[in-house]
Every structure is written in structure tokens, then in C-alpha cells.
Structure 1
């Protein structure tokens, strides 16, 4: 085991250095050795799910083989971890900006330089290694540097710290968050003003929002009123703070808001001020501070909207367990729904909470059969549905809990998780290290309506707008999800429209179909419907649902759920985004799992580590998306994929499901690279058992180009667009192997016949095409080609590598098509012969004569047919 640690009483530099070190040591666990400073404690508590840090009690130090120490070298400052640093077999790596002192531990790797912050050293290593950074990672690293350098103003600051900050800003570091967690030194004048403001501060409850108004008078102008406002916001932890300072002949106002319901720029616009929603200022000439306070209050009452409450963000209905349910059953429910804890209810009353840790402990001691009531916690922290989200957040921090039940009149009505709170704070919640903070530039990223308008057809745009209006009338929430969001963000046109409804998806689909005069197919057992506008364009509408797998590779079982769970059931982060279609929020993107950033970085990433085990078909899908878009399968995802292949999970999947996904691959333009990648990942043998990939690779590589060439000649049309690649993949195979694969995937008799005809005839066709024209009759060659399906022609063209022989093939196809007889079966019937195989036999013979130049005109055709029929029937005529 590898661990990363830092000093006790961890500050921002220590925390940031740990996160940065994990970029260099991705398999190592971050372990906090002891207490944290207050701002770090709050930051870690709020971001616990994204940072994934451990405390010392959760680690078996006896299993540790490497310790990465950051921001310290002193073994006494890392708590119990110091006891193992000198043990044999423990490798120590050190990254620190403090000078060497007596008693410091030594390591096999020592990066020790006198820069302003340790994280600067690690940022340099990250930059040198070319590792990517998310906005949250860049923000955390900037917090560490600013914290230890006094915002680059301490004398220990070096040019390397400033260069690191510049690099982090380019990578999306958010200074608003840095300012939120760090303070600046204050002057004596500022301290005096701060004291007076605090002594003259009144708290008001306005539309459910806590608003603090602080006022002061001073004879001299004091700079930094906005900074003092920030300081008061930090001290008081109030939703909205206004400070008013009467200085000289002016009243200066600074406003700061931490909630979207109070737009301080809009409020201070009344006084001619400006700024943005979270921070703004104004100056009033010749004003009296007491008068302006009352005027400001009047504006606030008009402008502040009621805040988001627990009821607005909670999940409902809630998955619960009863006190009599067994521990094993509770654990199964947690695993199925991905919960870390469940409320325990008796009737409608909430009586306790059982956590996953409680379940694991009970199972460890062989008590899976015991009832939940013996292990649940009865001291439950709950909130009413009308509690503002800001208070819920503070309650979570104070009690260090990740979810709180919502209870009204003793009845459980919902549950709020840390994820729900983070979503309201940051707009979208990401996996570890990937929260995107909602300020300034991020606001425009959250709404993509203009991108949708640009990349969607007017028809699709109109349908989505109408779906939102219908949902508003029904009091539902509706989202476009999955492929449409992905393709729109990539700048691709998309007809893959998948709607998710928090409400009754079938009712919305029926209303949408009625409005557009479209047919609706309903699948009640799945809560889904299909709105059919034409054979080419259909929209899938689904009630937000959860899929779970009773065992690996099983078909999913479906239950109604929330949008979050609906997206969580999907395959990859880039396919787990949604966009709101309701009128007021039309275009707002919902990205719980950081799909947009993965899209920008070109990464295919699963949502959880059992993704390929639960549904092995995702292995093929990962390769399809990777090659289609020129992306890469993310490193950890690739590790999961290879392990799933090693465990032969695809062998547990029905051939029907494999074929359904394989057909999607075979119709792609990049099918050849996809098939090559499947071979690299050792998947080929599962989908084409008995077929040697390297025998068919040269033809597969050129197949798409050959299809394009045939299409330009006007000779490639097929309704089964997957068939050319299948034929190419099997063309070197033994007939029985090919027949077995066709049977495995339940191809029809006609489709199997085409594959086998191609395999039977391609060698002879190639040999005859290469012969000199005088050595082979055109009719002979045409006979071989016409016995083969047209879907095999791209394979032939790919084998004929040289341009001159390809041109000869084109001329041959022209000759065959131009030589088609002008007469048909009607003429034979007119001669009095009954319909039957004789018709085809006669016309084929006529076609061969035309190909060889023996028959040219319609009169000559008629003469040949009469003679041919008389000869083969012995002069015996007609009916």
C-alpha cells in the first residue's frame, strides 16, 4: 500500500500538496494524520466525496510500503505514521519547502526547495509530466500557494510560486473560491472600521434569507471595504451582507451574497452601483448612512427571492428499511441503489438510520441475519422541508454527515445528500477533484441553449421546446439526455433524442405525440414510450428510472427514480449528461459526473468500477465511442475493462445482446479501427470465435475507402449496412466457422446465404479479374460476380490494391450493368411458356451472350430467346 500524508494541524498548503502528490502517485491513498485547521476542515467536510481522504484509523499501517510526505520532513509532525518511517521495507518520498532540520527523516526521493509553498514544487512536477488538471484541482493548488504566500505578498514568495499560479489560472483555478477560504492581513484602520461595523450590525430575515446590514461612520477614507465585507461574511456566515460606511461626503456600500436568490448587483443598481450577482458596490454622494440603510432595506424586500429549501433539492420518495429487516437485506438494498446509508422507518415515523459501515461491521461478525434495529443509530439529525439550503449545508458541516432526512410532522418526506447541496452551490457536481464552481465564466457554461440552437435542426429544436412547455403544464421536469447532449457539445447534428421525465413519461409522450400528430408506442412495464414522427425519426421518452443488476451480465431490472439515478445507470460520463427543457431553465446542463470535462479532454470514463461487470456490452461500446470520436479510454476505466475481459464476462452475455452492439460497430465509418482495438483488448475472440484477426486486418483497413469508391461509381446500395464489414471479417474463415458465427448471431437464411456466397466466390473472382481480358470471357467473370452479393464488392475492391486493377473492376461493373437485356419475362410469357425456373435460366443465358458481344439489339435478343427456348424444350411449346 502507498499513502500520502502531511503534518498535523493541516493547512491549505498541506492539503493541496497531498492532492497534487496523488496526481504523481495515482494509486496512493491520501491520509490525514490528525487535526486540521478550521478552513481546511470545512473545505474537506464539504468536499469529502470528491477528495476521498482517509483518517489514520482507517489505514492498516502494517501494510504500508511507501510513504509520500508533503509539506514536512519531521516524523514527529505526522502522528502515528512517524512510527513506520524508519521500518525496513518502507520507502519514503519527500516534497517540502522547509529547510532541513535536525531529526528530519530522509527519503529515496527528496524534492526540497525554498519556495513559498510546497504545492509549487508538485505543480512543477505535474506540468513537467504533462498531466491534465481539472478546475477544482487547479483551485485547490492555488489555495495552497496563496495560503502559504499571503496571496503572493509574503517575503518568502518566489518567482516559481507566481509562475505556478499563472499556470493554474490557465487551467481554470477559481479565485472566487480562493478568496472564500483565505483571508488577508488587515491594517489598523481597517480593523477599527471592522469593529465599528460589527458593533452596528443588524440581522434581518427577509423572504427566508438572512441579511446582515452593518453601518459605520469615519472621518477618513478607508480602503478595502469589499475585503472587510468579505471578512464579515466569513465571521458571521450570513447569506447576504451589506456594509455601509459614511466616509467624507459619501456613503460607500459593498454587498456580498452567497445564494442565488439575492443578486446584490441588482439590489445596488438602485443606488447606481454595479458588480455581479455575488459581489457588488455603490457610492452615494451627500447621503446619510442611517437614511440609506432604510432605503436599502426597502429595495432588498422587493428584490430578494425566497431561498432554495430542503424540499427543492431533496430526493423523494426515499428508499427505507424497517427495523425488523435483516442486516443482509439492508446491505443488498444499499448495493443496489448505491446508497451509503438508509433511514429506518416504522410506519411513517423515522426512528433511526443504518449506515453502510454499520452493515459491514455486522456482516464481519457474522450477524447478517440480525435485525437492523440492533445496529441502527437512533440519534438522527433531520431537517424540516422548509429549511434553507444554506442552513442544511452548515448543519452537515457541523455534524460531519453526508445526508440528512427531511421530516415534516414526524413523517419522512425526503432526503438531502451532500451531493444535492454541492449541486446547488456549484451548479453541477463532479467526481473526485472535479467540482466546477459556479461563478462568472461558469454561468455561461451551464446553459447551452445557444449551442443547441446552432447544432440542432429546426424540427428537433421545436420539438424540444414543445416538450418543455408540455412538461410545465403537467408540473413535470423534462430533460434531453445522453447522446443528444454529447453530440450537441461536440458540434454534431443529432437525431438521437432521448427524453427523461421526472413525472409520468408515458403521459408526456402521449401529449407530445398528440400535439405533433405523431404515433406513440407505449411500453408500460418499463415506463417508456416512443413518439414516432417518421420511419427515420423517433423520440424515446422515459420516466426517470434506475437500473440494477441482480447478478453480473444480467439483464437490467427497472424502477422509477430521479434524474440523478437515471443518469447514474448509464455507461460513460460523456453519455450521462442532461439538459433541462422546461421553459424557465431551458438549456441548463446537468452534469453530475463531469461528462463535459471528459468530453473536452477526449476521455471515455465509466461511472463506477463495476460498470463492465454489471453490463459487459459496455466493453464494445467503450471501444465504439473511443474510435468514433478519436478519444482515449481513461486509464482507470481501461484497467477495469481489461480486468473484465480477463474474467471472460462477455462469455456470460447472450449472443443476441452482443450482436445488437456489434451491428452498431459494423455500420460505423470507423468500424475497422474499432475492430482492431477489440483485437488489441483481446475481445475479438469473444465476438468472432475461430477467426484469425490478422488474416482479415489488411482488408478491413481499406474497406470504408472501398465503399466510398463504389458509392461514387453508383454501385453500392444496401439496406444492411453492417453486412460488408461482417463479410470482410469472415472472408478468410472456413465455411463451417462462418456458418457457426451466422447461426450464433441468428442471421436469417438469406443473410447467411450472402455471407457464404461471398466466401465461396471471392477467390475465383479475384483470380479471374487479374487474368488478361483475352484469357477469360466477360460472361464467365460476370457469372461469378453475380453469384456473390453486392455487399461483398467492397471486400473485392480492398483486395485489388492497385489503381489500374480497380479501374478494370469498375469497367467490368459498367459492362455488366450496361449489358442487361432489354426484354424480360413478359416476352417469354407472350411466347406461351409458363412461368418457372426456365425464365431465369433463359434470361441469364441472354445476359451472357450480351456480355460476350454476341447479341446487341432487341431483335437479336428476341431471336436468341426463341431459339434457346426451342432448343432446351425440344420444340415442345407452351401451355
Structure 2
């Protein structure tokens, strides 16, 4: 006799799997090995599932069983009385399951085990392979199991094959209304009481850097659907990993759920007689009390929870050190350059001592600046390996007060961990008891978004094309064994849910080599800059990705361009301008979606604050004052109080004057290219920055009015769809400087090193436009009509940007309309006749052609000719006599 069975406390995946197995073994008897979960029992009461012929154990002659088909289980101690049958000699055992092996003790004669989200999915794959078609009732019961075990296809354990299985079942009549009715039932009073007790008794255990919640309860009678309650608790408290232990009567029931691979709950519960997979597990304990189970859990967790944070995760690299013979003076220079407090003293790749800033300063104070570092370095220090745990680092840094710990592999220093590194890790690792997700997608009160949240943001916010590019970048990084990160404004705007497809990538390694390999695989081309270790990947359709090697910067003097050296991702992010731009997202396979936030960038996004990373930020690079204003106005943020104090100090002390004019000009152009630059320019005026363009430049109410008018005329021109390019920033710049005289404007162009192609427009054409505008205003005031040909002659030589600035600066609507009329009706007017026509009329070629065509143009502009014949008649009348063309 063939028997199909499953584990005790069967759920819908068991039911669906047994129904499916019957299609493969039509003569087999379906028997539940023990009790079922409450939701499944209610389904039996309210549906016609009894028609499928389920038997009770007592109706089966166990001695007659020759083949045992097990569904969703592989342990003999989880199938009740069938455990003995499975171990009996001569009984053939077939197994269909989706759980990893764990401590399964049954050896099957035939098995189908696949790493998917539900056992039902295993059968759906077999059905599709064999052409087996379930009935609508069977498909509905299978869909119940699929949805329950994958959390409606939302659990981490869900795979693409689970979605295919759902589509297959839906195609064959699965009733989703029935699925919804039985998977979203209200909790009973007993379940509510049990859930309340679990909430009250929840504690958090940190194991190897991972927070794991453990909840327990004790009731006298059995309460069903403990797995459902576990899911509710996990979702209510937004937990990464949760283990629930509930004593019911004389047994302890266990359920585990995990969102992170570091906590494999299936393996953990297998040590207590249960099982499951990495993200979900369950079990029943008969021989231990609840207290004993809770006592054993910490030790079990320590064995199975993978260390999440090790020294290699916290360390900075490459190591910046000095040789033993280097002087104290040289050491102080490096300490200042790299903004660090301790330098390792290196004998080749080996660390032989540590020299702190305090020791170096005191030695210099005592006149010992030229003494070798080896004389005053500390030689009593400990180092760690790259896989050393956070606890080991805490012992050295907190207990033994060693503020600087070298990370060493095979005698070679590969990185360092400082007290600050450890403190940042400990702070970012804190977890509040409950978090609320706000509109930006940032967790309130938390300092780190989970990988799944970031991955979801990427899927939701980015086009599929960009999503594929990011994934392929990670694939190439894995192949080249280098870490790849998306960084900067792209990440910032992703978290803010603002569009930004300017993808910036940094690579811990050779950025150019990485870009070359990616381009080879994807059929792209690259443009590289060897000096800076950067490259641009250019796709066939023009889409671009900027790639750089991770690097650090230091400034030899205020306002100078930075000196660049290779560094780790942490030091690369530290060189950036503001905390909100220091966020990075890992793209490599195992870390895909991991958000790096070393400097509180998420906190400042949440608080809508623009803050620098250190107090000398504006001193080292004064152009950051312009960028601070730009981000503040673009994002609707506010410059932090301390940051604004530092900004005003840098402006007051004249550090902006030390910056090359071309760099200031570039920052100004970027501000003027903003969708609405008016608030940013007003903020520049408030912070006394306009004087660095020219001492006479101020933002008067009149200039501000013209500046705001510029926005309207630029939008008006865009709506004309002339196809003629217009650089809006030039229009704004002309309006901003409208009250400056010629000498002042030329002075601005020299101060800002304005490119020659713009100087003529900003000086000569600007002066010409001012004169023409004054003439038009005077004519309007006198009531004098300006002919179209005169308007054309005055305005035609001027660039589009200069004309739009004239419209913005016009004092009356009449004059503005005249310039508008030139744009829309006059600018592209030309005679219908050309030189060939004049030659055909018998007029010999020569300078006279230009005169005749100009005369025709004026006549057409003023409406004196309308057709080609009108032009021919005008030429004959004006330039012919009775004998032929005038000579």
C-alpha cells in the first residue's frame, strides 16, 4: 500500500503538497501524521476537501505500507507513527521537499528536493515538466500552500520559480478569493492573548554583531497558528530575526523567521529537533522545559549566527605610515595632512611602532622635531587579523585603551581600526525597539536602512535598464574580486525618491581596469583619465556611467586643488563635501543593496540638513560654500547651524579669494543652471558671496525682479519649440549683472576667467543690447512707431540669450512684446529671391546683390512685398531702366 503523509502540525503547504503528490501516485492513501494548524482545520470544516479521500491514521494498516511518500518533511521524528514505518526494512521512501538537508535522518529511495519557497512549487515544476494538469480545486489548495509558505510571495525565501508556480496554478483555475479568505483570518481571543504575552516577553540578543529577538510565552492549552503570530510580531516590530518559544501544555513549540542570511533559523531550530530553511523554521520540543529551551538558545545561536562584523569591515586602508628614520617633523606633517591622530611606524610592510599626535607635538615643543620617530614611538601594542571580531576590537580599544589597532595578515599591515571607527560601528548598530518608516523611506531613529529596503527602493525608483546596469556592475566586480559601490548624489536622491540617473561608481581597486572589463562585456566604449584613475563608460545609446578608483584627498594650502591618493571606500567617502553625499550602496552579489553610512548621512537627510564633515572643510575647498547653497535650495534643506557658522567664517576671512576664478565661475554656472536659481542667488547675497564676483554686485529689489522675470522669459522661449539652443544660465547672469557698467563687467570676466566664447556676449553684445533697449523705451514713451525692418536691424545681431535678457529687463509690456514679435515673426524672415534669381533677371553678379537682397528683406519685413512676384516687380522698378538693369 502507498501512503502520502507529511509532518505533524500540518499547514497549507502540507495540504497542497499532498494533493499534488496524489496526482503522481493516484493509488496512494493521503493521511495526516498528526494534528493540523487551526487555519487548516477550519479549511477542512468549510470546504469540500473531504471529497479527496483523506484517511485517519487509525484507518491505515501500518504493517501493510510498502511505499511511504513524504511531503515537506525529511525527519522521522516529525511524522508521528509513520516514523517507525519509514525506518522499517523493505519500505520504499519517496521525499518531496524544499528545505535544506539539515539533520534529516531519512534516506530516501527517491527524492526531489529543490531550494524554492514552498513544497508546492516543487510539484508545480514537476507538473510543468510532465504535462500534468491540476483541477481548479487542486490548484486552489496548492495555491494556499504556496501563498502561506512564501508570505504571499513576499518572504526572502521566495524565488522566481515560486512566481512561475503561482502563474501556473492561476492559469489552471486557482481561486484567489478562497486563498484570501483562509490566509487572512481574524485572530481568536486566545491568539490575541498569546501575541500580547510574546510582545511583553520579547528580548534582544546581540550575537556576533547581529540583533536577534527572542520572544516566549506559556499557556496551558494549545493555541493554533503560532507561525502566523510570529509573522505578525516580526512585521509589527520590524525585526530582522525572531525566534518564538511557546509552551502549550506539555510541549514547547518553536517558530523562527529571519530576513538576514546571517541567521539561518532552519539550522538553529534543527538543534532542538525542528527544521526548516534559512528564512523560516519550526519545531516541537517534548523533553525540555521552556526555561531549558531559552537557556540553550544563546549557545546555539553563537554556533550558527555568522559573524556579521569583523575587523575587515571596520578598517581603513591603505595604511598611511612613516619609516623609523623619518623625523618627528615629517610625522606631524602627515598627521595633519591625513587628519589622523596616530601614525604607524613601518619597517617595510610591518608595523613596528605607533606614534600619536600628542607625542609628536610634545616632542616638537621640546625641540626634538628632527629626531627619528623610532626614538619616541610606542612599541607595546596589539594587532588583529582581518577576521577578528568586534568583541576582540572592543577588548583592545575599550578595555586596554589602545586607540589605534593595526590589522595584519601574514605579517603585512592591510588596514587599521581606530577608536572612532569602533564608536561609529557601535552607534550605527544600535536598534530601537520599534521603528516607523517615514515618507522618504528612511527609518526614523535608525542609522542604517536594511539591504532589502534599499534593494526595494532601487527596484521602485529606477528604470529597469539602470537596474540591470547596476546588477551587471556588481557581477563584473565579483569577477574581478573588487568591491563596487554606487555613490554620491545618485544614492542621496534615491533615498529621497528624487529622479537622478547620473550614476557614479567607485571601485576599491583599479577603476580604469574595471571600466574596461565592463565595456568589453557590454559592448560599450570608455573614455579614461589615467592621471585621476577615472573613466566614463559610454553605452551605444549614449547613456553614461562614471567610474573612479576609491581615493582620498588632502590640501597643501587653502583653496588649492587637492592631492589624490588611493584609499578605502570609507576614506573615499570622507573626502566628500557634505554628509548627505557620503552615502554608498554596495553592488557586489553578496552585499548588493547594503547601504554604507559612516558619517550620519541618513540622519541629515531625515533632518533635511546640509552639514560638512569637518571644521576645515570650507577652508580646504572654499568652492564648497557655493555647493552648500545649491544643495540647500535644490533639496529644500537648511544649512546646519554650525556649518553656516563655518561658512560665514570662511567668507569673512577671504578664503573664497584664494580659489581660481575658473572654479568659482563653474560653481556659479551650476547654480544658475538650477531649475529655479533665484533662491540660491538670494542666499548668496545674504551670505556676502556676491562681492567675490565683483565688489559692486548687489542683489537690489530691482535686480531681483529682473532676475525672476528671466525665469518666465526662458520658459516662454522653451515653449516656442524653435529648435534653437538657449543657455538659460547666461540669461540669468546678464540679468544679475544688469546694473554694472562696462568696466565692472569686464572685471568680472577677468576675475572669473570666463571662457572667450562668452566674453563678447557678456560685454560687447550686452552693451549694444542696453543701448537698443533704451532706444525702444524712448520711442515708446514718445509714441514713435518702430518699423519691423528697424527692429530686425537692431536685434538680429544679438544672441538669443542677450535678447531674452532684454525681454526680462524691459520696463514695459509694449517693449517686451516688440522683442517677442521679433522672435516669433521677424527673426527668420528672408527674401524669396536669391542670387540665382537676380542673375536670371540679367543683373551681373557683384556687391549690388547684397544691396538688392537687403532692400527686398526690408520691404518684406515692412509688408511692402508679400509674394515672389511682388519682389520681382520691386527689383524691376528700382534697379531697371528702359534699356535693362541699371549699372
TM over 0.5: yes
Secondary structure of the residue aligned to 1:318 is: coil
Alpha-carbon deviation of 1:247?
11
1:338-377 mapped onto 2 (5 Å cutoff): 338-377=339-378
Matched, 1:514 2:520: yes
Partner of 1:761: 769
Secondary structure of the residue aligned to 2:667 is: helix
Partner of 1:816: 826
Which residue, out of 604, 608, 625, partners 2:610? 604
CA contact (8 A) 2:662 2:754 kept: no
Alpha-carbon deviation of 1:541?
0.6
1:502–1:429 CA distance, 2 compared to 1 (3 A): farther
Secondary structure of the residue aligned to 2:619 is: helix
Matched, 1:781 2:791: yes
Partner of 2:870: 860
Secondary structure of the residue aligned to 2:527 is: strand
Alpha-carbon deviation of 1:635?
0.9
Question: 2-side partners of 1:837 and 1:261: how far apart?
Answer: 86
Question: 2-side partners of 1:275 and 1:807: how far apart?
Answer: 77
Partner of 1:381: 382
Question: 1-side partners of 2:657 and 2:736: how far apart?
Answer: 20
Aligned length: 648
Partner of 2:566: 560
Matched, 1:452 2:462: no
1:875–1:455 CA distance, 2 compared to 1 (3 A): same
Secondary structure of the residue aligned to 2:531 is: helix
Partner of 2:727: 720
Alpha-carbon deviation of 1:700?
0.9
1:378–1:818 CA distance, 2 compared to 1 (3 A): closer
After superposition, what is the alpha-carbon deviation per residue over 1:104-137, rounded to whole angstroms, capped at 9, x for unaligned? xxxxxxxxxxxxxxxxxxxxxxxxxxxxxxxxxx
Matched, 1:474 2:475: no
Secondary structure of the residue aligned to 2:416 is: strand
Question: 2-side partners of 1:304 and 1:834: how far apart?
Answer: 96
1:422–1:692 CA distance, 2 compared to 1 (3 A): closer
1:844–1:525 CA distance, 2 compared to 1 (3 A): same
Alpha-carbon deviation of 1:666?
2.0
Question: 2-side partners of 1:824 and 1:596: how far apart?
Answer: 66
After superposition, what is the alpha-carbon deviation per residue over 1:17-49, rounded to whole angstroms, capped at 9, x for unaligned? xxxxxxxxxxxxxxxxxxxxxxxxxxxxxxxxx
Which residue, out of 464, 486, 491, partners 2:470? 464
1:205-354 mapped onto 2 (5 Å cutoff): 249-251=250-252, 261-262=262-263, 267-268=268-269, 284-285=285-286, 287=288, 303-305=304-306, 308-354=309-355
1:384–1:600 CA distance, 2 compared to 1 (3 A): closer
CA contact (8 A) 2:726 2:801 kept: no
Question: 2-side partners of 1:285 and 1:429: how far apart?
Answer: 36
Alpha-carbon deviation of 1:515?
2.6
Partner of 1:396: 397
Partner of 1:849: 859
Question: 2-side partners of 1:524 and 1:510: how far apart?
Answer: 13
Partner of 2:742: 735
1:428–1:285 CA distance, 2 compared to 1 (3 A): closer
CA contact (8 A) 2:694 2:747 kept: no
Alpha-carbon deviation of 1:405?
1.2
Which residue, out of 620, 631, 635, partners 1:625? 631
Secondary structure of the residue aligned to 1:350 is: strand
Matched, 1:702 2:712: no
1:637–1:853 CA distance, 2 compared to 1 (3 A): same
1:321–1:832 CA distance, 2 compared to 1 (3 A): farther
1:576-591 mapped onto 2 (5 Å cutoff): 576-591=582-597
Question: 2-side partners of 1:704 and 1:536: how far apart?
Answer: 29
1:399-418 mapped onto 2 (5 Å cutoff): 399-408=400-409, 410-418=411-419
Which residue, out of 659, 671, 680, partners 1:653? 659
Alpha-carbon deviation of 1:612?
1.0
Secondary structure of the residue aligned to 1:624 is: helix
Q: Which runs of 5+ in 2 are unaligned?
A: 1-198, 213-217, 222-240, 432-441
1:289–1:785 CA distance, 2 compared to 1 (3 A): closer
Question: 2-side partners of 1:181 and 1:449: how far apart?
Answer: 26
Q: Given the two structures, how large is their TM-score scaled by the length of structure 1?
A: 0.64
1:319–1:789 CA distance, 2 compared to 1 (3 A): same
Partner of 2:19: none
Matched, 1:570 2:576: yes
CA contact (8 A) 2:769 2:806 kept: no
Question: 2-side partners of 1:374 and 1:612: how far apart?
Answer: 37
Alpha-carbon deviation of 1:566?
0.8
Secondary structure of the residue aligned to 2:796 is: helix
CA contact (8 A) 2:665 2:754 kept: no
1:831–1:355 CA distance, 2 compared to 1 (3 A): farther
Alpha-carbon deviation of 1:807?
4.8
1:626–1:348 CA distance, 2 compared to 1 (3 A): closer
CA contact (8 A) 1:612 1:618 kept: yes
Question: 2-side partners of 1:643 and 1:841: how far apart?
Answer: 63
Question: 2-side partners of 1:315 and 1:662: how far apart?
Answer: 35
Alpha-carbon deviation of 1:347?
3.4
1:476–1:211 CA distance, 2 compared to 1 (3 A): closer
Question: 2-side partners of 1:365 and 1:278: how far apart?
Answer: 62
Secondary structure of the residue aligned to 1:737 is: helix
After superposition, what is the alpha-carbon deviation per residue over 1:417-476, rounded to whole angstroms, capped at 9, x for unaligned? 33444565565799xxxxx99999955477422222222233322221111110011111
Question: 2-side partners of 1:289 and 1:555: how far apart?
Answer: 66
CA contact (8 A) 1:545 1:559 kept: yes
1:141-160 mapped onto 2 (5 Å cutoff): none
CA contact (8 A) 1:758 1:789 kept: no
Q: Which runs of 5+ in 1 are unaligned?
A: 1-174, 183-205, 213-217, 222-239, 431-435
Task: Tell which structure's C-alpha radius of gyration is larger.
Answer: 2
Question: 2-side partners of 1:211 and 1:519: how far apart?
Answer: 45
